[in-house]
Amino acid sequence: MRIILLRHGQSLGNVDELAYCRIPDHALPLTPLGEEQARAAAPRVKTLVGDAPVAVYVSPYVRTRSTLRNLALGSLAERVVYEPRLREQDWGNLQDPVQQEVLKHQRHAFGHFFFRLPNGESGADVDDRLAAFLADLETRMADPAHPSTALVVSHGLTIRLLCRRLFGWSIELFESLSNLDTCEDRVLSHDGTRWHLDRPFTQWRHSPDDEVQAPLRPTPPSVIKDQTIE
Protein backbone atom coordinates (compact mmCIF):
# COMPACT_ATOMS: atom_id res chain seq x y z
CA MET A 1 0.00 0.00 0.00
CA ARG A 2 1.14 3.53 -0.73
CA ILE A 3 -0.13 7.01 0.11
CA ILE A 4 1.13 9.94 -1.97
CA LEU A 5 0.82 13.22 -0.09
CA LEU A 6 0.70 16.41 -2.16
CA ARG A 7 0.33 19.97 -0.93
CA HIS A 8 -1.69 22.34 -3.10
CA GLY A 9 -0.09 24.91 -5.40
CA GLN A 10 0.59 28.48 -4.33
CA SER A 11 -2.67 30.13 -3.29
CA LEU A 12 -3.71 33.76 -2.93
CA GLY A 13 -3.38 33.37 0.84
CA ASN A 14 0.28 32.36 0.46
CA VAL A 15 1.16 35.70 -1.13
CA ASP A 16 -1.43 38.03 0.45
CA GLU A 17 -2.26 37.35 4.09
CA LEU A 18 -4.94 40.04 4.02
CA ALA A 19 -6.87 37.88 1.56
CA TYR A 20 -8.09 35.90 4.57
CA CYS A 21 -9.84 39.08 5.75
CA ARG A 22 -12.05 39.37 2.66
CA ILE A 23 -12.29 35.85 1.20
CA PRO A 24 -13.28 32.70 3.11
CA ASP A 25 -10.33 30.34 3.53
CA HIS A 26 -12.11 27.55 1.66
CA ALA A 27 -12.67 29.86 -1.34
CA LEU A 28 -9.10 31.16 -1.77
CA PRO A 29 -7.96 30.38 -5.34
CA LEU A 30 -4.60 29.36 -6.70
CA THR A 31 -2.40 32.13 -8.05
CA PRO A 32 -1.27 31.90 -11.70
CA LEU A 33 2.01 30.52 -10.36
CA GLY A 34 0.08 27.98 -8.31
CA GLU A 35 -1.72 26.81 -11.44
CA GLU A 36 1.66 26.43 -13.16
CA GLN A 37 3.08 24.54 -10.18
CA ALA A 38 0.21 22.06 -10.29
CA ARG A 39 0.61 21.48 -14.03
CA ALA A 40 4.38 21.07 -13.57
CA ALA A 41 3.76 18.52 -10.80
CA ALA A 42 1.53 16.40 -13.06
CA PRO A 43 4.30 14.31 -14.72
CA ARG A 44 5.97 13.65 -11.35
CA VAL A 45 2.70 12.58 -9.72
CA LYS A 46 1.78 10.36 -12.69
CA THR A 47 5.20 8.70 -12.47
CA LEU A 48 4.65 8.05 -8.76
CA VAL A 49 1.19 6.65 -9.43
CA GLY A 50 2.36 4.39 -12.27
CA ASP A 51 0.00 2.50 -14.55
CA ALA A 52 -2.32 1.18 -11.87
CA PRO A 53 -5.45 3.14 -10.87
CA VAL A 54 -5.29 5.49 -7.89
CA ALA A 55 -7.90 6.55 -5.36
CA VAL A 56 -7.84 10.31 -4.80
CA TYR A 57 -8.79 11.94 -1.51
CA VAL A 58 -8.83 15.72 -1.74
CA SER A 59 -9.64 18.58 0.61
CA PRO A 60 -12.81 20.30 -0.68
CA TYR A 61 -11.15 23.75 -0.63
CA VAL A 62 -10.90 25.58 -3.95
CA ARG A 63 -7.09 25.57 -4.00
CA THR A 64 -6.81 21.82 -3.48
CA ARG A 65 -9.52 20.98 -6.00
CA SER A 66 -7.85 23.30 -8.54
CA THR A 67 -4.52 21.58 -7.91
CA LEU A 68 -6.10 18.21 -8.56
CA ARG A 69 -7.77 19.44 -11.74
CA ASN A 70 -4.43 20.70 -13.09
CA LEU A 71 -2.84 17.30 -12.47
CA ALA A 72 -5.13 15.98 -15.22
CA LEU A 73 -5.06 12.40 -13.94
CA GLY A 74 -7.92 11.37 -16.22
CA SER A 75 -8.68 7.65 -16.14
CA LEU A 76 -5.86 7.00 -13.64
CA ALA A 77 -8.16 8.33 -10.90
CA GLU A 78 -10.49 5.41 -10.28
CA ARG A 79 -12.36 7.40 -7.66
CA VAL A 80 -12.22 10.95 -6.30
CA VAL A 81 -13.44 11.64 -2.76
CA TYR A 82 -13.85 15.21 -1.53
CA GLU A 83 -12.89 14.69 2.09
CA PRO A 84 -13.64 17.54 4.58
CA ARG A 85 -11.39 15.95 7.21
CA LEU A 86 -8.42 16.85 4.96
CA ARG A 87 -9.18 20.59 5.09
CA GLU A 88 -6.70 23.10 6.50
CA GLN A 89 -6.77 24.12 10.15
CA ASP A 90 -9.85 26.31 10.65
CA TRP A 91 -8.92 29.83 11.72
CA GLY A 92 -12.57 30.87 12.12
CA ASN A 93 -14.47 32.68 9.37
CA LEU A 94 -13.15 35.98 7.95
CA GLN A 95 -10.14 37.27 9.87
CA ASP A 96 -9.45 40.70 11.30
CA PRO A 97 -5.97 41.85 10.19
CA VAL A 98 -4.97 43.20 13.61
CA GLN A 99 -6.24 40.18 15.52
CA GLN A 100 -4.62 37.93 12.92
CA GLU A 101 -1.13 39.20 13.83
CA VAL A 102 -1.83 38.97 17.56
CA LEU A 103 -3.03 35.39 17.23
CA LYS A 104 0.02 34.36 15.23
CA HIS A 105 2.36 35.62 17.95
CA GLN A 106 0.26 33.97 20.68
CA ARG A 107 0.14 30.69 18.76
CA HIS A 108 3.91 30.68 18.25
CA ALA A 109 4.55 31.32 21.94
CA PHE A 110 1.91 28.86 23.16
CA GLY A 111 2.64 26.06 20.70
CA HIS A 112 1.03 25.33 17.34
CA PHE A 113 -0.42 21.99 18.42
CA PHE A 114 -2.43 23.00 21.48
CA PHE A 115 -3.28 26.65 20.80
CA ARG A 116 -6.97 26.90 19.89
CA LEU A 117 -7.93 29.74 17.59
CA PRO A 118 -11.06 31.71 18.57
CA ASN A 119 -14.01 30.29 16.59
CA GLY A 120 -11.52 27.88 15.01
CA GLU A 121 -9.41 24.81 15.75
CA SER A 122 -6.24 23.83 17.51
CA GLY A 123 -3.69 21.56 15.90
CA ALA A 124 -4.95 18.87 18.28
CA ASP A 125 -8.44 19.23 16.78
CA VAL A 126 -7.02 18.68 13.30
CA ASP A 127 -5.07 15.70 14.60
CA ASP A 128 -8.29 14.15 15.94
CA ARG A 129 -10.15 14.37 12.64
CA LEU A 130 -7.14 13.02 10.75
CA ALA A 131 -7.07 10.01 13.07
CA ALA A 132 -10.62 9.21 11.98
CA PHE A 133 -9.71 9.72 8.32
CA LEU A 134 -6.67 7.44 8.53
CA ALA A 135 -8.68 4.70 10.24
CA ASP A 136 -11.25 4.85 7.42
CA LEU A 137 -8.55 4.96 4.74
CA GLU A 138 -6.67 1.95 6.08
CA THR A 139 -9.94 -0.01 6.21
CA ARG A 140 -10.73 0.95 2.62
CA MET A 141 -7.24 0.10 1.38
CA ALA A 142 -7.46 -3.34 2.97
CA ASP A 143 -10.31 -4.07 0.55
CA PRO A 144 -8.89 -5.78 -2.58
CA ALA A 145 -11.31 -3.72 -4.70
CA HIS A 146 -9.65 -0.48 -3.55
CA PRO A 147 -6.54 0.73 -5.43
CA SER A 148 -3.31 -0.02 -3.60
CA THR A 149 -2.22 3.61 -4.04
CA ALA A 150 -4.03 6.63 -2.62
CA LEU A 151 -3.28 10.23 -3.57
CA VAL A 152 -4.05 12.77 -0.84
CA VAL A 153 -4.18 16.41 -1.97
CA SER A 154 -4.25 18.60 1.11
CA HIS A 155 -2.59 21.44 3.05
CA GLY A 156 0.73 22.08 4.75
CA LEU A 157 -0.13 21.71 8.43
CA THR A 158 -2.68 18.99 7.68
CA ILE A 159 -0.07 16.86 5.91
CA ARG A 160 2.42 17.29 8.78
CA LEU A 161 -0.24 16.24 11.29
CA LEU A 162 -1.30 13.29 9.16
CA CYS A 163 2.28 11.99 9.33
CA ARG A 164 2.50 12.80 13.03
CA ARG A 165 -0.55 10.67 13.67
CA LEU A 166 0.48 7.84 11.34
CA PHE A 167 4.01 7.52 12.77
CA GLY A 168 3.21 8.50 16.35
CA TRP A 169 5.66 11.39 16.32
CA SER A 170 5.85 13.54 19.43
CA ILE A 171 4.28 16.98 19.62
CA GLU A 172 7.77 18.46 20.01
CA LEU A 173 8.95 16.86 16.77
CA PHE A 174 5.81 17.97 14.91
CA GLU A 175 6.37 21.57 16.00
CA SER A 176 10.01 21.37 14.83
CA LEU A 177 9.05 20.48 11.24
CA SER A 178 8.30 22.82 8.36
CA ASN A 179 5.38 22.50 5.98
CA LEU A 180 6.05 21.07 2.55
CA ASP A 181 6.52 23.68 -0.16
CA THR A 182 3.58 24.25 -2.46
CA CYS A 183 3.08 21.24 -4.75
CA GLU A 184 5.79 19.31 -2.90
CA ASP A 185 5.10 15.64 -2.19
CA ARG A 186 5.96 12.82 0.17
CA VAL A 187 5.31 9.11 -0.36
CA LEU A 188 4.28 6.74 2.41
CA SER A 189 4.67 3.00 1.76
CA HIS A 190 3.59 0.02 3.83
CA ASP A 191 5.83 -3.05 3.93
CA GLY A 192 3.22 -5.32 5.47
CA THR A 193 4.28 -4.42 8.98
CA ARG A 194 4.56 -0.65 9.21
CA TRP A 195 4.52 2.57 7.24
CA HIS A 196 7.69 4.25 5.90
CA LEU A 197 8.32 7.82 4.73
CA ASP A 198 10.34 8.22 1.53
CA ARG A 199 12.26 11.28 2.79
CA PRO A 200 12.12 13.52 5.86
CA PHE A 201 10.40 16.86 6.24
CA THR A 202 12.62 19.92 6.49
CA GLN A 203 13.34 20.54 10.17
CA TRP A 204 13.78 24.16 11.24
CA ARG A 205 15.06 23.27 14.72
CA HIS A 206 16.21 20.23 16.65
CA SER A 207 13.31 18.53 18.44
CA PRO A 208 13.63 19.32 22.18
CA ASP A 209 12.90 15.67 23.07
CA ASP A 210 15.54 14.35 20.60
CA GLU A 211 12.90 12.45 18.59
CA VAL A 212 13.67 11.94 14.91
CA GLN A 213 11.61 11.28 11.80
CA ALA A 214 11.51 7.51 11.55
CA PRO A 215 10.99 5.10 10.02
CA LEU A 216 12.19 6.24 6.62
CA ARG A 217 11.86 3.92 3.66
CA PRO A 218 15.00 1.76 3.47
CA THR A 219 17.08 1.92 0.31
CA PRO A 220 16.73 -1.34 -1.69
CA PRO A 221 19.95 -3.44 -1.68
CA SER A 222 20.05 -3.33 -5.49
CA VAL A 223 20.24 0.46 -5.41
CA ILE A 224 23.05 0.38 -2.84
CA LYS A 225 24.91 -2.17 -4.98
CA ASP A 226 24.53 -0.08 -8.12
CA GLN A 227 25.79 3.03 -6.32
CA THR A 228 28.79 1.10 -5.00
CA ILE A 229 29.70 -0.22 -8.44
CA GLU A 230 29.55 3.27 -9.96
Residues labelled catalytic: 8, 88
Nearest to 161 by CA among 201, 129, 127, 187: 127
The length of the chain is: 230
Note whether 73 and 54 are within 8 A (CB).
Answer: yes
Phi, psi of 112 (to 5 degrees): -65, -25
Beginning with the edge strand found earlier in the chain, give each strand of the sheet holding 185-190 in spatial order: 77-82, 54-58, 149-154, 2-7, 185-190, 195-197
CA 104 to chain CA centroid, nearest Å: 21
Residues 153, 159: Cα–Cα separation, whole Å: 9
Backbone angles phi, psi at 21, to 5 degrees: -85, -15
- CA angle 103/203/212 to nearest 5° reads 115
